[in-house]
């Protein structure tokens, strides 16, 4: 089976040590505690995915985490939420990470399209904060840069390269105008 065909499945609580291990390698400057992954998994299990890979350093080739959030107010990094905000109208893609040994072969597409399909079915938009110069990657899935929608202070903790991106989804688009 090619890398791109490897299946993604729902994350389970006992995957969190592997997710934490891979997250530490992929995001050394943006560490988030395992409690954060456990929190999102409990709050929105359909948005938490992993791709098994017994041959990978942590036993997974990648993970993805998404959950409902207010359109232009994703939560700060490393924050345990406890509950989802009542005014969540977007599916916020918090993180998609692929083990460096599995990159460049389309593996992440399976996870991203699954999350986009989820957003199309249930939300007005999918949003994310792009880091590491990844906007061209996200544009492939229909995301566009929308700096007009977000308070620049919310991006500060993500470093200078951080860019807010949005993909309109579903039928309710009334809240997609610029930030006032
Ligand atoms: C972004 C990321 C999830 C993409 O996953 P992927 O499965 O490698 O995606 P693709 O195979 O479609 O490759 C995406 C791009 O990565 C680059 N790439 C190609 N080979 C690569 C390699 N061996 N190592 C790193 N990047 C590579 C290419 O620019 C490629 O685009 P192209 O196919 O148009 O040339 C993955 O690179 C990653 O985990 N990066 C670090 C975390 C991150 O940036 N997450 C998103 C934050 S918003």
What rounded mean pLDDT belongs to the chain?
93
**pLDDT given for residue 179 in this prediction:** 46
Other Cβ atoms within 10 Å of 170 Cβ, number: 15
pLDDT at residue 19 tops 80: yes
Average pLDDT for 13-27: 97
Q: pLDDT above 70 covers what percent of the chain?
A: 94
Averaged over 71-88, what is the pLDDT?
93
Nearest CA to ligand 1 atom 19: 104
Letter string b/e over residues 96-115, b meaning 16 or more CB atoms within 10 A of that residue's CB: bbbbeebeeeebbebbbebb
pLDDT of residue 156: 85
Residue 175 has pLDDT above 70, yes or no: no
Q: How confident is the model at residue 172 (pLDDT cuts 50, 70, 90)?
A: low
Is pLDDT of 178 > 90? no
Which ligand 1 atom sits nearest the alpha carbon of residue 132?
Answer: 44
Q: Is pLDDT at 171 greater than 60 in this prediction? A: no
Domains, the chain, ranges and CATH?
Answer: 3-173 (3.40.630.30)
**Cα-to-centroid distance, 98 and ligand 1 (Å):** 8
Ligand 1 center–CA 143 separation, angstroms: 16
Instruction: Average the pLDDT over 146-157 and give the result.
Output: 90
Q: Which atom of ligand 1 is nearest to the CA of 3?
A: 7
CA torsion angle for 79, 12, 116, 134 (degrees, to 10)? 60
Q: Distance, CA 127 to ligand 1 centroid (Å)?
A: 18
Torsional class of 78: left (φ above 0), alpha (ψ -120 to 50), beta (otherwise): left
- In the prediction, which pLDDT does 10 show? 98
For ligand 1, pick from 114, 126, 137, 140 the residue to mutate: most ligand atoms within 8 Å of CB. Answer: 137
- Mean of the pLDDT values across residues 17-29? 97
């Amino acid at each position: 089976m090619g890398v791109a065909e490897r299946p993604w499945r729902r994350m389970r609580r006992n995957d969190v040590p592997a997710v934490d291990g891979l997250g530490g390698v992929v995001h050394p400057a943006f560490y988030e505690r395992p409690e954060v992954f456990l929190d999102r998994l409990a709050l929105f299990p359909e948005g938490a995915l992993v791709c098994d890979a017994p041959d990978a350093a942590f036993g997974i080739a990648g993970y993805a985490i998404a959950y409902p959030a207010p359109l232009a107010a994703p939560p700060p990094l490393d924050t345990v939420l406890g509950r989802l905000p009542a005014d969540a109208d977007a599916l916020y893609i918090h993180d998609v990470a692929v083990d460096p040994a599995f990159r460049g072969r389309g593996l992440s597409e399976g996870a991203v399209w699954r999350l986009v399909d989820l957003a199309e079915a249930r939300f007005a938009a999918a949003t994310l904060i792009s880091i590491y110069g990844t906007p061209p990657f996200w544009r492939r899935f229909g995301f566009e840069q929308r700096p007009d929608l977000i308070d620049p202070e919310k991006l500060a903790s993500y470093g200078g390269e951080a860019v807010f991106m949005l993909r309109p989804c579903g039928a309710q688009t009334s809240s997609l105008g610029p930030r006032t």
